[in-house]
Amino acid sequence: MSDKPLIHFASFAIAIPLYRVFDYAIEPTASESLDSIINDGVSHSVSHIGKRFRLPFGSGNKIGLFLNQLDDPSVARDKTKSALECLDDTPVLSEHMMALARWMASYYLQPLGEVMFQCLPAHLRSGKSEKPERVKYWHAQVTDEILYDVIRRRSPKQFEILVAIEQASGGMNAVQLKQINSGWASLIKALERKQAITWDYLKPQCSGATLESPPLSSADQSQVLEQLETRLDVFSVHLLDGITGSGKTEVYFHLIQWQLAQRKQIIYLVPEIGLTSQLVERVSRRFGEQFAISHSGLSNRQRYLAWEKFRAGDVNIMLGTRSCLFSQSDRLGLIIIDEEHDSSYKQTDGIRYHARDVAIKRAQMLNIPIVLGTATPSLESLHNCDREHYFYYQLSQRPTRHAPPKIELVDTSNVTLVSGCSPYLLKKIDWHLEQKGQVLLFLNRRGFAPVVMCHECDWLASCNHCDSKLTLHHRINTLLCHHCGCRQTMPLTCPKCQHADIKHYGIGTEQLEQAIKWRYPDTPIIRIDRDTIASREEFSKRLAQIQSGEPCIIIGTQMIAKGHDYPAITLSAMLDADQALFSASYRASEQLVQMVFQVSGRSGRGEVKGEALLQTAYTDHPMMQSLVNQSYRDIASTILQGRKMISFPPYARVVMFRADAMTLSEAMKKLTEIKQVLQSSVHLRHLKCIGPIPALMTRRIGRYRAQLCLMSEDTTKLRTVLRETMPALQSVKNTATLKWVIDVDSFDI
């Protein structure tokens, strides 16, 4: 033992955009003091793997994650700097999470350090930490001998406490015990010595009586649950394809209940917009205080505390948005991804991961099931069901209620629209309001008018920093760019020819609201878009107003389209979806169909049958026809066939290289350099390599953007090219004015 070196060396991951790890020395003082940390009588492992250290870096210092100890003393290490301090007594990243991070780094071709820190709550990334207070719960294991012993020793106080603990189903905590006997602490010690009681940190499930009991499962639901039940302890991916309101959430709740009974933990992901107080209340009615929530509306500290509570096992359900996928647990039993098709699961900056795909990998590594649910499955997931990689289940009926309405097209090509509404639509609105129903008008364009121009010359209000038009926001008398947020006061005269005849065209939610208010002065109008909803609380307030069931007209953008249950809506109308028919994005048709089915599915969820209208000037367009005549599943199959014919995702994998710079030529030049690197692999000829070309919106927030696309049906070849060229790609540097990134499984081609 004596010749064991006192100084250790170790590799660390640091969150900087470099594809390498960093070595530091660990002085004995730093490690020794840690090795001897005693907690609850148990000495912690001497391993530092997964702990954070403060490290000298450049002229300052950075936080690093301990990856592994270096045993090789042959390397000259005189110049290796020493770690400054260790910040954790227990690892913040478990070995499992580190393995997941390694997989992500290799799959998404991102630097390991950045990925590892992505897997931590932001609060910890910045070097902060604080332990939430933990509550112990005592449980009794009463045998006859113990009882006899307690009675024989004539300790009625111990007896009283022991019986109370035994009768409390989930154990008792200090506050509860104190109410029985103020001298509880010494009594508990005595009972512990007798091994009559034990403790843990697991919060008891609230007793069933105070919690809502589940409705009787429908035949559909029972069938799904029966099949799922047999696969709950192995890795398996389940796609729950259920029309809106068909009871998917109820199925999740059953699965959660089962896993809780096994003392397992559950991660339950929802899209940002889906985490409403409505859902939170529903979960808490069913599961009491057993869950933590985490979303972008909370502070970093609050999100960290939720993470820590889940990690510690104080709660067993983590309900949250995308990054909650990285919640740590050593007894994770199930991951649920609601609205799995939602594009917000794909992170579009930093580490561009897809939460659904990483979650599936995580489930596979842990050998646990994962359940994806949606009314409009993504084409990727349908494809995986077709290939029998996922189990597929359909919920095709609403329990106790009406089927979702059939979609009816309203031809707008030959009628005069009143603020975007056809006479037919207005008549329908009148009728539904008379019947005391609620009406939803969906218009995916905020602001007053999307186009502002001069009638005299050809001046068009456009952004100085983006290739985009400015939208008029009337109430604040401002022209706003929806891409970079820059604003100008609406000019009184044309900036170019000084003519006073400036006109606006098209309609957004602000104008629609004005027109509808004017026409229906006595009906409450609820507008829901980013301009009217400043906070999550406000959003919840409006949703509650809708939930109350009073007749009203709801005007909203895609904020309103997803995952909310409004039983009183009987008419949902989509005012303008024609843009999507001619979009340059290959995903536009998929997104249009999903949106139409999601929005129409908002209607008729209550006791009264619903109607769904879709205004279009192109009633003969094949897409419009199929929306009327086919199910989502059928249309999706047709789109899939089309994708197969042209070898597009999900039949091919896409890796996108993007660059943005102060000039287009600079961005293009960098991508040409990258293309040359890729060409050094002989396998490149097996792949499609498209570009470099300017991006769809070339100039955005003052930067010019270009892209280079690698695509192949043959994933192995694609990965071979990337593996072979990655070392050289890693040395293609960013400069002060140019940034390039890799986007694996990119959404836009």
Footprint of ligand ADP (CB under 6 A): 215-218, 221, 242, 244-250, 399-400, 565
Interior/surface letters 39-65, b for 16+ CB within 10 angstroms, e for the rest = eeeeeeeeebbbbbbbbebeeebbbbb
What minimum distance in Å lies between the beta carbon of 237 and ligand ADP?
19
Q: Which residues are within 8 A (CB) of 634 and not within 5 positions of it... i.e. 6 or more apart?
A: 626
* Positions 577 through 596 that interact with Zn ion (CB under 5 A): none
Given the complex with Zn ion, which of 468 and 630 has the nearer CB atom?
A: 468
* Positions 435 through 464 that interact with Zn ion (CB under 5 A): 454, 456-457, 459, 463
Residue 483 binding target from ligand ADP, Zn ion, none, CB below 5 to 8 Å by type: Zn ion
Residue 246 binding target from Zn ion, ligand ADP, none, CB below 5 to 8 Å by type: ligand ADP
For 374, the token pair is 């949606």
Paired with 268 in beta bridges are: 319, 336
Residue 218 binding target from Zn ion, ligand ADP, none, CB below 5 to 8 Å by type: ligand ADP
Give CA separation, 288 vs 136, 173, 207, 274, in Å.
Answer: 18, 17, 9, 20
Residue 677 binding target from Zn ion, ligand ADP, none, CB below 5 to 8 Å by type: none
Paired with 653 in beta bridges are: 712
Residue 249 binding target from Zn ion, ligand ADP, none, CB below 5 to 8 Å by type: ligand ADP
Residue 494 binding target from ligand ADP, Zn ion, none, CB below 5 to 8 Å by type: Zn ion
What minimum distance in Å lies between the beta carbon of 288 and ligand ADP?
18
- Residue type for 71, please? D
Q: Which residues are within 8 A (CB) of 164 and not within 5 positions of it... i.e. 6 or more apart?
A: 172, 177, 180
Residue 741 exposure: Cα atoms within 13 Å on the Cβ side: 17
Given the complex with ligand ADP, which of 64 and 247 has the nearer CB atom?
A: 247
Quote the CA–CA distance of 322 and 268 in Å, as a whole number. 10
Residue 463 binding target from Zn ion, ligand ADP, none, CB below 5 to 8 Å by type: Zn ion
Residue 402 binding target from ligand ADP, Zn ion, none, CB below 5 to 8 Å by type: none
Given the complex with Zn ion, which of 232 and 466 has the nearer CB atom?
A: 466
Given the complex with Zn ion, which of 101 and 494 has the nearer CB atom?
A: 494
What minimum distance in Å lies between the beta carbon of 325 and ligand ADP?
20
Question: Edge-to-edge strands of the sheet including 407-411?
Answer: 407-411, 611-616, 569-574, 438-442, 553-556, 525-528
Q: Is 494 in the site for Zn ion (CB under 5 A)?
A: yes
What minimum distance in Å lies between the beta carbon of 473 and Zn ion?
14
Q: Is 496 in the site for Zn ion (CB under 5 A)?
A: yes
Quote the CA–CA distance of 667 and 670 in Å, as a whole number. 5
Given the complex with ligand ADP, which of 398 and 670 has the nearer CB atom?
A: 398
Interface stretch with Zn ion, choices 339-347, 479-487, 598-606, 652-660 (CB under 5 A): 479-487
What minimum distance in Å lies between the beta carbon of 609 and ligand ADP?
16
Q: Note the maximum CA span of the chain.
A: 104
What minimum distance in Å lies between the beta carbon of 445 and Zn ion?
16
What minimum distance in Å lies between the beta carbon of 531 and Zn ion?
17
Residue 399 binding target from Zn ion, ligand ADP, none, CB below 5 to 8 Å by type: ligand ADP
Nearest alpha-carbon partner for 310 in 623, 94, 626: 94
Residue 101 binding target from ligand ADP, Zn ion, none, CB below 5 to 8 Å by type: none
Given the complex with ligand ADP, which of 224 and 433 has the nearer CB atom?
A: 224
Q: Which of 151, 497, 544, 628 touches Zn ion (CB under 5 A)?
A: 497
Alpha helices in 403-454 (DSSP H): 423-434
Q: Which residues are within 8 A (CB) of 581 and not within 5 positions of it... i.e. 6 or more apart?
A: 588, 592, 618, 621, 623, 624
Q: Any idea what the Cα angle at residue 436 is, between residues 434 and 440, rounded to 5°?
A: 95
- Count the residues in the chain: 749
| Residue whose token pair is 């760019």 | 481
Residue 497 binding target from ligand ADP, Zn ion, none, CB below 5 to 8 Å by type: Zn ion
Residues 431 and 491 sit within 8 Å (Cβ to Cβ): no
What minimum distance in Å lies between the beta carbon of 509 and ligand ADP?
25
State yes or no: cis peptide before 692, omega within 30 of 0: yes
Decide the pairing of beta strands 553-556 and 438-442: parallel
What angle do helix axes 248-261 and 277-287 make, rounded to 10 degrees? 40
What minimum distance in Å lies between the beta carbon of 566 and ligand ADP?
10
Given the complex with Zn ion, which of 498 and 676 has the nearer CB atom?
A: 498
Q: Is 491 in the site for Zn ion (CB under 5 A)?
A: no
Output the CA torsion sign for 535, 539, 542, 544: negative
Number of residues that bind Zn ion (CB under 5 A): 14
Helix, strand, coil in percent for the chain, rounding step 5: 35, 25, 40
Residue 696 binding target from Zn ion, ligand ADP, none, CB below 5 to 8 Å by type: none
Residue 496 binding target from Zn ion, ligand ADP, none, CB below 5 to 8 Å by type: Zn ion
Interior/surface letters 702-712, b for 16+ CB within 10 angstroms, e for the rest = ebbbbbbbbbb
Given the complex with Zn ion, which of 282 and 483 has the nearer CB atom?
A: 483
Given the complex with Zn ion, which of 185 and 497 has the nearer CB atom?
A: 497
Quote the CA–CA distance of 43 and 16 in Å, as a whole number. 34
What minimum distance in Å lies between the beta carbon of 704 and ligand ADP?
43
Given the complex with ligand ADP, which of 636 and 729 has the nearer CB atom?
A: 636
Q: Is 698 in the site for Zn ion (CB under 5 A)?
A: no
Q: Is 502 in the site for Zn ion (CB under 5 A)?
A: no
What minimum distance in Å lies between the beta carbon of 743 and Zn ion?
22
Site residues (CB under 5 A) for Zn ion? 454, 456-457, 459, 463, 465-466, 481, 483-484, 494, 496-497, 499
